[in-house]
Amino acid sequence: MSAASKPDETYYRLLTELQQLDFVLVELTLYLDTHPHDMQAVQQFNQTAQRRWQVAQAFESRYGPLLQFGHSFSRYPWDWSNAPWPWQV
Amino acid sequence: MNQIRTWHPFVGPFDPCPPVTCKAYLVPPNLFIPFQPPNWPQFPPAEALKHGTLWPALYSPYESRMLEGRAEGQ
């Protein structure tokens, strides 16, 4: 495990923010399933999705990929298998 | 609106167990909202995650009554 991937305060702050944004996206998804013509909610969904993407980018550039099989970029050397794993944080 | 409702069940004379004279149940707010109106006020993301819903109007605390009973028993 490299020093760069060691969980610090920022690691948990970004993960928490991701979790919060993901929850908002879940709620808006369920809402929009029954309210497809709510323009404001669609805008909020897209803004939140964009914000989520930014936070995910910031996290991945610091601590390595969140997703695999081409949904996230990898740094060099390949660090997918490095600790900490999701159940360790 | 108070989300806890109570009723007093019939107590039979041959009930082998000590009767529970007052039973309570929870009615969450979504039961009374047939279709969610648009543009409801929202929690900020951090609060939404904590409350388990994005909209304060749908929040139901669901406090455990088990702990009340234990506190009395001990």
The pLDDT tens digits for B28-69 are: 999 999 899 999 999 999 999 999 999 999 999 877 777 665
* Domain annotation covers residue A75: yes
The total number of structural domains in chain A stands at 1
Residue of A18, A21, A27 to mutate, testing the B interface (most B Cβ within 10 Å of its Cβ):
A27
* Domain annotation covers residue A21: yes
CA dist., res. A52 & res. A64, Å (int): 16
Q: Is the pLDDT of residue A2 over 60?
A: no
| A1 confidence band (pLDDT: 50, 70, 90) | very low
Q: Is the pLDDT of residue B73 over 50?
A: no
Domain that holds residue A57: 8-88
Say whether residue B39 is in contact with chain A using an 8 A CB cutoff.
Answer: yes
User: Buried b vs exposed e over A25-59: b needs ≥16 C-beta within 10 Å?
Assistant: bebbeebeeeeeebeebeebbeebeeebeebbeeb
* Domain annotation covers residue A3: no
Q: How far apart are the first and last CA of chain A?
A: 14
Rounded to an integer, the average pLDDT of A33-59 is 96
* Domain annotation covers residue A47: yes
ipTM exceeding the 0.95 mark: no
Rounded to an integer, the average pLDDT of A5-31 is 92
- Cis preceding-peptide flag for B37 (omega within 30 of 0): no
Residue of B49, B51, B53 to mutate, testing the A interface (most A Cβ within 10 Å of its Cβ):
B49
How far off is chain B from A9, nearest CA to CA, in Å?
17
Please report where in the chains the tokens 């949904």 appear, as a residue: A71
Please report where in the chains the tokens 């999705």 appear, as a residue: A49
| B1 confidence band (pLDDT: 50, 70, 90) | low
Query: Three-state DSSP class for B26?
Result: strand
Q: Is the pLDDT of residue A58 over 60?
A: yes
* Reported pTM: 0.79
pLDDT at residue number B69: 58
Residues in chain B with CB shorter than 8 Å from the CB of A34 are: 35-36
